[in-house]
Amino acid sequence: MIYNSINDIKSIQIEITNNCQAMCPGCQRNINVGWVCDSCRADGIAPPTVNPTLVTGAKGNMPFDIIKKALPVELLKTLKRVEFNGNFGDAPFHPQFKKIVQYIMENKNDNLTIDMSTNGGMHSTNWWADLAKLWMFNKENCVWFAIDGTDNETQQMYRRNVNYDKAIANARAFIDAGGKAEWQFIIFDHNKHQIDKLYKLADEYGFSKVRTNITRSNFNIVHAIGTEDENFIHKAEKSKKHKSKTIKQTDGIVWENLKKETKTLIEKYGNADDYLNQTKISCVWGDREQKIMVEHDATVWQCCYFVGTYLYGYDPKSNMWKDYYEKKYSKDFNSLYSHSLEDIIVNSDLWKKDLHESWNNKMNSPINPRLEMCANHCGKHQRNSYSSDTGRPDILSVASLEVDPED
């Protein structure tokens, strides 16, 4: 998507803080993400710790004046959606969160909706009840509570440092005060037996929907789920509000499907690098959703995948791309501290032509190289990621399995 005006933007995902109390082993904010249970210590795998390159605390909160630059009044008059979400933080940790919501509400258009993903384990029930009254200026506005168990012991196996009882109490306070909430639940081997209870509790507590996701990383596959139980089929309880489809996939099945698809692609393209260099790219965020990402450090990105890849070096192959553009532009080429939103996405050659033209090049091109990340996530087979060294699935973008209630 080439934006001719900021009003071409239809959706913004904004991460207003990188602060979070949780220590989820699969989260990008943490390093040493290879274990989920205490028994993994025997394997010599270090426990997760916060990435030392992240600036946390007060400096990890986006200043209010920068938030207004990311969400200018002119844009709020036409924008369709604001999503508080990201790679590192949890929005309610921003000390001015309600002020930010108030600002959006005061300057919105009638069709604007807001959403948020949160672990829900911070603040008091009164805080959440008050938020509901502010939040629901549109009946479609929603908060997604990420709770991965139906008791605290199970919850702590992955969503560490987030107390189940506190998160549920806060969610119920939000719902009881008129808020619309959905329950997000990542399926692991250690919690899949709780799916029946999940739907029962979601119905009892007033959640409007349940979203179940298959785990999405090598860590999840190897350490959390296991691949033995390939025949697992679980029928979620069919309550009046949460009649569900049969969940037929576990990570074992997903893993086998990915291996088969990888083999097919290798046979067609020769190896993973050839696939990544040749696959046709169609940007999901830009071309399909007209959506952009604003990160906690005030940088503006084409999508959320750029953030971990570009800022914190999770993908060494991006160094060539990073070096190329920082030399061509500047280190602050996409910073709201230095530029307006319009200057970044409308007037910058990166957004106007360079990124799109890079998709016609190879990943090792010395000029405007193609990003492996773009081919991984938005190539013809964007559901899967592949390691260019071995051709095996990387599982960082395994498709989620959503179970919707039937009306």
Q: How confident is the model at residue 45 (pLDDT cuts 50, 70, 90)?
A: low
Ranked by mean pLDDT, which of 25-29, 335-339, 350-354, 379-383 comes out on top? 335-339
pLDDT number for residue 217:
39
Tell me how far CA of residue 104 lies from CA of 5, 9, 67, 109, 114, in angstroms: 20, 16, 10, 9, 9
Confidence of residue 12 (pLDDT cuts 50, 70, 90): very high
Which letter does DSSP use for residue 37 in this model?
Answer: S
Q: What is the mean pLDDT of residues 270-290?
A: 86
**Type of residue numbered 187:** I
Give the per-residue pLDDT at 374: 86
> What is the arithmetic mean of pLDDT over 154-161?
91
- Give the architecture-level CATH label for domain 6-250: Alpha-Beta Barrel (3.20)
Domain ranges within the chain, ordered by starting residue: 6-250
- HSE-CB of 147 using CA atoms within 13 angstroms: 33
Mean pLDDT of 233-246: 30
Give residue 124's pLDDT: 98
Task: Please indicate whether residue 255 or residue 348 has the higher confidence score (pLDDT).
Answer: 348
**Considering the entire predicted model, what is its pTM?**
0.81
Overall residue count recorded for the chain in this entry: 407
> Which amino acid is residue 15, in one-letter code?
E
Amino acid at 113: T
User: What average pLDDT does the segment 338-364 reach?
Assistant: 91
Packing angle of the helix pair 125-135, 97-107 (nearest 10 deg): 10
List pLDDT tens digits, range 87-102.
Answer: 899 999 999 999 999 9
Q: Is the pLDDT of residue 320 over 70?
A: no
Averaged pLDDT for residues 344-349 = 92
Least confident of 157-161, 175-179, 320-324, 368-372: 320-324
Tell me how far apart the alpha carbons of residues 308 and 303 are, in angstroms, rounded to a whole number.
11
- For the stretch 50-65, pLDDT in tens is 888 788 899 999 999 9
**300-301 and 291-294 beta bridge pairing:** antiparallel
Residue with tokens 């394997």: 43
Q: How far apart are CA 36 and CA 34, in angstroms?
A: 7
- pLDDT at residue 72, as a whole number: 98
User: Which of 154-168, 181-195, 199-213, 393-407 bottoms out in mean pLDDT, i.e. has the lowest?
Assistant: 393-407
Residues 6+ apart with CB under 8 A from 362: 277, 369, 370
